[in-house]
Amino acid sequence: MRKEESIITKNRKTRSDKKKDVKPTVSVNLKRCIERLSFITGIPIKDVVEIICEKGLRSKSVIDHLSEHFRRDFQYRNTLYLGDFEKESLQRKRQSGRTERITTRFTQLTYENICTLAYALDVTPTKATGILLDASVHNTNILNAFVKSYLHTQLDQNRMKELKQILKFINQNNPYQEEISWFALVSKIFDDIKTSTHNVKIAINHWMDNKK
């Protein structure tokens, strides 16, 4: 009897590598941006959110931005951010415009890091995830790194070199102050060819061949 109870108890234990589901509420525009990233790369939405949030947690510029809202102390590597409980809590602050839920999953370690961030912000982990995602997506370096690393897995060295030259040319001749990102370039490519293909390699090769 004890042996059977032992087996049942063992089976009921939560796997240490099991991911934690989180469903933050975000602006419709942010969700559409994530959906577009998912469409372009072929990476599931929940994984796109997970990757970007993890990059955000490792980005000092993102943490610097979020520190403006820290109500409790937060340690990031060798930097200690001092919290101020006089600051307004973001928990009850409503987002402007339409919002929708977006689903993601985190490893136990990432979820614990988000819980630490949530404690500093004085919000729930779900709310902290939405805040982190928004701050990370608005960080050009993170979006660039995400799209560029994916392109490296899809395009050969010569195609990547050509694409870099195109991006350099666009930015050198861009009349606006804001620099065009890799994400913006790939989005433009998909818009220009007006195709339903989900294969980024085919789409980019087709677009570049037409430019010759």
Give residue 8's pLDDT.
Answer: 44
Q: What are phi and psi of 100, to 5 degrees?
A: -145, 160
Reported as half-sphere exposure (CB side, CA atoms, 13 A), residue 147 has a value of: 25
Question: Residue 151: is its pLDDT beyond 90?
Answer: no
Q: What is the DSSP letter of 106?
A: E
Residue pLDDT, tens place only, 169-187: 777 776 656 677 877 778 7
What pLDDT, on a 0 to 100 scale, did the predictor assign at position 5? 45
Task: Report which residue type is found at 45.
Answer: I
Any residues with CB less than 8 A from the CB of 203 and at least 6 apart, and which?
Answer: 189, 190, 193, 195, 197
Q: Please report which residue ranges of 42-175 form alpha helices under DSSP H.
A: 45-57, 60-66, 108-121, 125-137, 140-154, 157-172
Which range of 9-23, 36-50, 68-82, 191-205 scores highest in mean pLDDT? It is: 68-82
pLDDT per position as a tens digit, 79-121 = 999 999 999 989 988 878 899 999 999 999 999 999 999 999 9
Q: How confident is the model at residue 122 (pLDDT cuts 50, 70, 90)?
A: very high
Q: Nearest-CA neighbor of 48 among 125, 147, 196, 189?
A: 147
* pLDDT tens-digit map of 28-71: 999 998 998 888 788 899 999 999 999 999 999 999 999 999 99
C-alpha span between 151 and 182 (Å, rounded): 9
Radius of gyration of the chain (CA): 21
- Band (188; pLDDT cuts 50, 70, 90): confident
CA-based nearest residue to 137, from 184, 96, 101: 184
Give me the pLDDT at residue 94, please. 81
Confidence of residue 199 (pLDDT cuts 50, 70, 90): low
Block residue for tokens 């419709």: 28
Residue 107 CB neighbour total at 10 angstroms: 15
| DSSP H or E run through 20 | strand 20-22
Instruction: Decide: 62 and 135 in contact? Cβ < 8 Å.
Output: yes
- State the pTM of this model: 0.79
**The predicted structure's pLDDT at residue 17:** 67
**Which of 10-24, 34-48, 151-165, 185-199 is least confident?**
185-199
pLDDT of amino acid 39: 80
User: pLDDT digit string (tens) for 124-138?
Assistant: 999 999 999 999 998
